[in-house]
Amino acid sequence: MIKDNSNPLPSLLRHYRLKMGLTQKEVADAISISRSGYANYEEGRCIPSIEQTMALSNLLNHDLLFAYTVSAQYARHNARKKSQSNALHEDNTYAPDMSIHIKSTDFIKAFEQLDTEEQELIKLFIEKRI
C-alpha cells in the first residue's frame, strides 16, 4: 500500500466509504468493478478513470476530482523516477505540467489548455457536485 501524503486519493476513498457505511464490495458493485479492483484504488496500486472518479464522488458524496488530479500527477511523477512503475494509472491529459502542490491559478490555467471535450467532462462533474 502506498502511504504518501502526495497521493491523497486512496485515503480519501477509504475515509468517505467508511463514513457512508459502505463495504468495498458495495462501492465496487455501484461502479461496476470487482471488489479487488476497488481495493486497488484504496491501496494506491492504481487510480480510477475520470468517469469512475465522478461516479465515486457521487456515491461517496465528496468531490474527488482534485484528489484524482493530484494522484494521477503523483503516479506519473513516480513512473518517471522509476524505469518500471508499480503504480498503474490512466493518462491525465488535463494536468500534464501541474506540480504536486498546485495553486488554484495553476489549475485554472491547466483547465484553459484542455480541449473542449475534457473541459465539458469537468464542467459536468462540477455541475453534479453543486
CATH number at residue 60: 1.10.260.40
Q: Which residue has the cell 474527488?
A: 64
Q: How many domains does the chain have?
A: 1
pLDDT of 121: 76
Secondary element (H or E) of residue 46:
none
Residue 2 lies in a domain: no
pLDDT of 93: 46
Residue 65 lies in a domain: yes
Determine the structural domain holding residue 48 and report its residue range: 9-129
DSSP state of 88: B
Q: How far is CA 47 from CA 21, 74, 109, in A?
A: 22, 10, 24
Rg, the chain, Cα only? 14
Residue 1 lies in a domain: no
pLDDT of 24: 96
pLDDT of 129: 61
Query: Splitting the chain (130 residues) into consecutive groups of 10 residues, what average pLDDT does each group show?
Result: 63 92 96 94 89 91 84 71 49 45 67 78 69
Quote the CA–CA distance of 59 and 20 in Å, as a whole number.
9
Residue 100 lies in a domain: yes
Q: Which amino acid is at 107?
A: F
